[in-house]
Structure 1
Amino acid sequence: MAIPFLLDSNFFIEAHRNSYPFDVFPSFWNKVKELAHDGRIISIDKVLKELHLNKDELSQWCADNLPADFFKDTTTVMPNYTLLINWVYSKSAQYSQSAISEFLDADEADAWLIAYAMTNKNELITHEVSSPNSKNKVKMPDAAIPFNVNCIKTIEMFRILGEQF
């Protein structure tokens, strides 16, 4: 079986709020459920925590439709998370202290997603856009590049998977 795609929180949030609302695109959500149950997409515990902050229709959908093992434990990726810590601190001349603190916040999923992808060779699905000159936010694609983690968008993932709606 192919290595599953790793989903960022914004995969779910953007789809639910903007691109594919439940009431208009049930086929999108049925496909997400199918891919999750087939093990072709996964996410991590930190994303689950972010999704449950709102206790809304999206968090309920995730609880009702995704397999119990969909959100993977990140405690196993600590060595690669440590590499990310060292990398971001090496960029302290570029990034503000608040940007570094936000990126390394234990409850923020971004660094953990990259560490998980580094460990397990996943492609990362995110809507974040690279901004290599940013000073106020460490963008996930920019932090992923030095560690050979590929970030792609939702539509590109569906194309790679050969999915159509």
Structure 2
Amino acid sequence: MYCIDTSALLHGWKRDYPPDIFKSLWDNLTELGQSNNLISPDEVLLELKRGDDDLCAWMEEREYIFIEPDEEAQKVVAEIVNRFPDFVPEESHDGVWADPYVIAVAKVKNATVVTGEKAVGPGAKRPKIPNICQELGIECITLLELIRREGWTF
């Protein structure tokens, strides 16, 4: 099971694997979601709605991927923001921040995080999703690694 982050979707759709060229990738992601092997917290959809674009519309058609974090996941979110205060952004113009929810849902569901973020070194101002996942013992991969694991070719 995979828990996908906004950055993986954005980078994939807009930069690395646009659907006009990699249609079968997006079909495969749809199938993963339909089989409950691709999930994401509702907060990711809220972040995508900021763009109000074709990716947002595509994801809205696949709302079954998005889950509301349960009480256990909410507790993990609280643990993350308390344990890693530098992870919390200084501001969010609309109050939406999906990162800790992606990690928390993955932890509760025993899923692998899929993100477009890269780990940062110890001197960085703010850790990224891969850094927090490593600290919490949660597997974290890129969209390309998901493609390889699933054996998809194009």
TM-score normalized by structure 1? Answer: 0.82
Shift in Å, 1:164: 2.3
Mapped partners of 1:109, 1:29: distance in 2: 22
The answer for the alignment partner of 2:88 in structure 1 is 100
Q: Judge conservation of contact 2:12–2:143 (CA < 8 Å) in 1.
A: no
Q: How many equivalent pairs are there?
A: 152
- The match for 1:88 among 84, 87, 93 is 84
Contact 1:8–1:43 (CA under 8 A) maintained in structure 2: yes
1:132-151 matches, cutoff 5 A = 132-151=121-140
RMSD between superposed Cα atoms in Å: 2.1
TM-score with structure 2 length normalisation? 0.87
Residue in 1 that maps onto 2:9: 12
Residue 119 of structure 1, aligned match among 96, 108, 115: 108
Deviation at 1:162?
2.4
Deviations for 1:97-135, whole angstroms, at most 9, x for unmatched residues? xx6344999611111111111211111001111113243
Choose the corresponding residue for 1:78, options 69, 74, 80.
Answer: 74
Structure 1 gap segments, 5+ residues each: 90-94
Return the structure number with greater relative CO, CA threshold 8 A, min gap 6: 2
The separation in 1 between residues aligned to 2:43 and 2:16, in whole angstroms, is 23
* 2:29 paired residue number: 32
Between structure 1 and structure 2, the one with the greater Rg is 1
Aligned equivalents of 2:91, 2:74: Cα separation in 1: 15
Structure 2 runs not aligned, ≥5 long? none
CA contact (8 A) 1:125 1:154 kept: yes
1:160 corresponds to 2:149: yes
Q: 1:147 to 1:103 in 2, by over 3 A?
A: farther
**Cα gap change, 1:136/1:71 in structure 2, threshold over 3 Å: closer, same or farther?**
same
Contact (CA 8 Å) 1:100, 1:138: kept in 2 or not? no
Q: 1:106 to 1:141 in 2, by over 3 A?
A: farther
Residue 138 of structure 1 deviates from its aligned partner by 2.2
Q: Distance in 2 between matches of 1:75 and 1:141?
A: 22
Taking the aligned partners of 1:103 and 1:154, their CA distance within structure 2 comes to 27
CA distance in 1, matches of 2:50, 2:95: 15
Q: Secondary structure at the match of 2:51?
A: coil
- Percent of pairs identical after alignment? 25
Q: Deviations over 1:81-101 (max 9, x none)?
A: 121122113xxxxx4xxx634
C-alpha contact 1:80 1:115 (8 A) present in aligned 2: yes
